[in-house]
Amino acid sequence: MIELSEFEEMYLKRMFEFYDSTPDAILKTTQLSEMLSVSPASVSEMIQRLASRDLVTHIPYKGSRLTPLGFQQAARVKRRECLLEILLSEVIGYSGDINEAACKMEHDMGPELESAIDRMLGYPEFTPSGKRIPLIERSVETSREGLLLPILNIPPGSESVIEILALDSTEIRTLEGLGISIGSVVITSESGISCNGSPIVLSDSISRKILARVRRGTKID
């Protein structure tokens, strides 16, 4: 894995966002300067640095574009940001500036933590705002046994036990009134979810905040 500085990752991510919407275009230095709110001279210096690492191709007097290696690295940075947005907004319920927080955290996330969060979230395809999450170099594990997952992402044919309710006190009391609490057994099937033997219907936003551990030995389809 290539070691990148925070600034290098930011440049690659912004270039990825540009090419994601206009894949055949060449990104001008002035455009990248405006996107990052830095001087054109700073952009030129960074482009030369990234080009020396085979992450960017510089086209004199026209601009630059990502190399296949650069596109791969940029996609990973963007995926980390997307996963953190989901984790912060839909699991933790963070009320601050989610984009700003995700942007700060993405640079300290290693491959193992990225994979663990991706797995816990059920390998989502889109962010809450509708952005597609990059799939390049994505490692997907088919078995979820022993993992702590939101009940929304537990595969059909699984039995799990609720361990965490990442909800406020009012929501927890409402769930308890439905017989859902820490230690409750959840069974997921193609027809829906049951808790302690009774069918339950919950919104996706609530289901993402109820974390249950998949029991080992249960059938995973």
What is the separation of C-alpha 6 from the centre of its chain, rounded to a whole number of angstroms?
18
Range of the domain at 61: 1-141
Same domain, 210 and 164: yes
Query: End of a domain among 118, 141, 164?
Result: 141
Q: What's the domain count of the chain?
A: 2
Same domain, 133 and 170: no
Same domain, 99 and 181: no
Report pLDDT for 220.
42
Same domain, 181 and 87: no
Task: Work out the pLDDT band at 217, boundaries 50, 70, 90.
Answer: low
Alpha-carbon distance of 98 to 171, in angstroms, equals: 22
Is residue 219 in a domain? Answer: no
128 pLDDT higher than 90:
no
Q: Are 11 and 50 in contact (CB under 8 A)?
A: yes
219 pLDDT higher than 70:
no
What Rg do the C-alpha atoms of the chain give, in angstroms?
A: 21
CATH assignment at residue 1:
1.10.10.10
CA angle 6/41/71 to nearest 5° reads: 45
Average pLDDT over residues 177-206: 91
Same domain, 62 and 3: yes
Task: Work out the pLDDT band at 47, boundaries 50, 70, 90.
Answer: very high
Is residue 220 in a domain? Answer: no
Is residue 108 in a domain? Answer: yes
Is residue 164 in a domain? Answer: yes
Is residue 221 in a domain? Answer: no
81 pLDDT higher than 90:
yes
Same domain, 133 and 152: no
Query: End of a domain among 92, 107, 141?
Result: 141
Same domain, 209 and 162: yes
Is residue 109 in a domain? Answer: yes
Average pLDDT value for the chain: 88
Report pLDDT for 46.
96
Same domain, 174 and 133: no
Same domain, 97 and 115: yes
CATH assignment at residue 162:
2.30.30.90
Average pLDDT over residues 100-108: 90
Report pLDDT for 142.
62
Same domain, 86 and 8: yes
Same domain, 66 and 123: yes
Alpha-carbon distance of 147 to 211, in angstroms, equals: 10
**Rounded to two decimals, what is the model's pTM?**
0.73
Same domain, 67 and 85: yes
What percent of the chain is modeled with pLDDT above 70? 95
Buried-state track 42-76, b at ≥16 Cβ within 10 A, e below 16:
ebeebbeebeeeebbbeeeeebbbbbeebbbbbbb
Closest CA to 16 of 98, 132, 102, 130: 132
Query: End of a domain among 141, 167, 193?
Result: 141
Report pLDDT for 161.
93
Task: Work out the pLDDT band at 143, boundaries 50, 70, 90.
Answer: low
